[in-house]
Amino acid sequence: MPLGWLFALLAVSLGSAGLLIPRQSELVKRLVEDGRHDRALALVGESMNSGGATNGAPTSVDPTPANLVKVLLDSADHDFDEAGRARIDALVRITDDPKGVLDVLLERRRLIPKELLPDLLDHLAVRAVHANDPALAVSIYGELEQLSPLDLDQTVRHVAACRFSGNPRAALETISRYLQTNRLPFTQLPEDLRKTTVSLHRELNEGSQAFDLLSAEFKATLDPTERHELVDLLTTVAAQSDRLEDSLPILQDYLANTDAGKHEWRELLHRKAPHPSDADFMRFGKLLAQHLEWNNQTSEAFDLYRKLAAMGDLESLDRCITVYPWVDRQEDITDLLETQVPVTDRETYTLLLARLQSERGQFAEAERTYRSELASTHAKDPAVWAEFGGILDAQDRFDEALEAYRNALDLDPERHEVRVKLARLHVTLGNHAAALLAYRKLPAESHDRKTREDYAMIAKSLDSPRDFIHAVQLKIEAEPQTEPGHFL
């Protein structure tokens, strides 16, 4: 209520009570209109001084709201008519000395009608906040609460005063009392007060309690916009309060109700246009997938990363590549890569797809990829030549495999695992002399039991004592506990 209007009300009320003559009442109104509130209040005090004599002796009244309230209370009829109530209320609403007025009200509370005192205290608490004395406002609301439970507006103001005075615990207790008195769940508080409650818990490092409140609100909320805001805050609070595991069902619920959440990953590849909720699915989906990984739910994380990859998220594709061996998802990663390759800045994924295709017998597709890569980017890559040889070898295309293995060794003679494959192929094709030469070139550390035995047998069959002795020496050095008869 505007201050000028209150002064006018006070002037009219005092005039009605006979404490201001009409001319003085008019002057007060003019002073108020000119913004000279102090002078108007002083004139009211002067009028009361001149008109408040007892037994012929004038009574001096300092024109402060507290003194004026005191005089009005002491001179009021017990009935407290409407004009009397208006006078007191006007002074309470305009006072710059709420502490002084409070003392007067409490000292003379027996004179004030029970139904009037709560309103006066409520208005006085507001004035205390305006006077930058929130602690006094908190005290006043305490007095008010003893008279009757605070309504919602009073509760909101009380909470604000508690926070302003640096007492978040008292603010939370105020909200708790309101909920208990009205038998309400947290979710039925107004949105602003719910947010305030969560903020108060966080201020007090009570993140777990804040998380529980937000969880309850999320479950009770259907509006997509509100759910977005809640899940955003929930994830932050969960991280701060060590409640990440508890946040997983909430994130899953939220994502399941988005457009992407309602589609299979292959369907996402063929949507005509992105959905407005895709940004949320990307953001919170990656967060959920990470949480699932941390909680050893790697297969579930893979499923979510696969959806995100289908929507174009390269980091999620990277995670699919990383985790698929841990959960035996070779078939699924192959299917995914077939929809993604070639991938910009991820050339290695092209050859990975070819390897995976060869593992499940898709030799034609794998061979096309290898030939394309060997004709361009990987022409001088011995590892790729060796892999290509393995694909041809698996199809019993031994002559072509030999050529691929030779190319690998020409580029890198130290790739002895390829030399072993080359020797085996020579044996298969009956090229024993070439096989013997290959085994002869193998260093001791590259031999295993099978190669040593093959080396010895081929050397013996080709009547090559030097190679046979070398093979036996390799066996003795590698297997010193073997009985002598087993060397021959």
Q: Is the pTM here over 0.85, yes or no?
A: no
pLDDT for 225: 83
pLDDT for 483: 59
Cross-strand pairs, 57: 54
Residue 426, burial from CB neighbour count under 10 angstroms (0-12, 13-18, 19+): buried
Q: Report yes or no: 326 and 298 within 8 Å, Cβ to Cβ.
A: yes
Residues 226-238 as b/e (b if ≥16 CB within 10 A, e otherwise) read ebbebbebbbbbb
Q: How far is CA 433 from CA 149, 267, 342, 398, 443, in A?
A: 103, 57, 43, 17, 18
Give SS3 for 54. strand
> How far apart are alpha carbons 252 and 261 in whole angstroms?
9
Give the list of residues 6+ apart from residue 444 with CB closer than 8 angstroms, or none: 474, 477, 478
Which residue bears the tokens 């929930």? Answer: 234
Q: Quick one: tokens of 28?
A: 């007060």
The distance of Cα 245 from the centroid of its chain, to the nearest Å, equals: 13
Q: Quick one: tokens of 267?
A: 């369907």
pLDDT for 486: 57
Residue 10, burial from CB neighbour count under 10 angstroms (0-12, 13-18, 19+): buried
The distance of Cα 207 from the centroid of its chain, to the nearest Å, equals: 13
pLDDT for 62: 62
Residues 272-310 as b/e (b if ≥16 CB within 10 A, e otherwise) read eeebebbebbbebbbbbbebbbeeebbebbbbbbbbbbb
Show pLDDT as tens, one digit a residue, over the chain (488 residues).
444 444 555 554 455 444 444 454 556 556 545 656 566 566 655 655 555 444 444 455 566 777 777 777 776 555 567 777 777 787 788 788 899 889 988 988 888 888 888 999 999 999 999 989 999 999 999 999 999 999 999 999 999 999 999 999 999 999 999 999 999 888 888 989 998 999 999 999 999 999 999 999 898 888 888 888 889 889 889 888 889 889 999 999 999 999 999 999 999 999 989 999 999 999 999 999 998 998 899 999 999 999 999 999 999 999 999 999 999 999 999 999 999 999 999 999 999 999 999 999 999 999 999 999 999 999 999 999 999 999 999 999 999 999 999 999 999 999 999 999 999 999 999 999 999 999 999 998 888 888 888 888 998 989 898 989 888 888 888 877 765 555 55
Residue 56, Ramachandran bin (φ over 0: left; ψ between -120 and 50: alpha; else beta): left
Count of residues for the chain? 488
Give the list of residues 6+ apart from residue 189 with CB closer than 8 angstroms, or none: 175, 179, 197
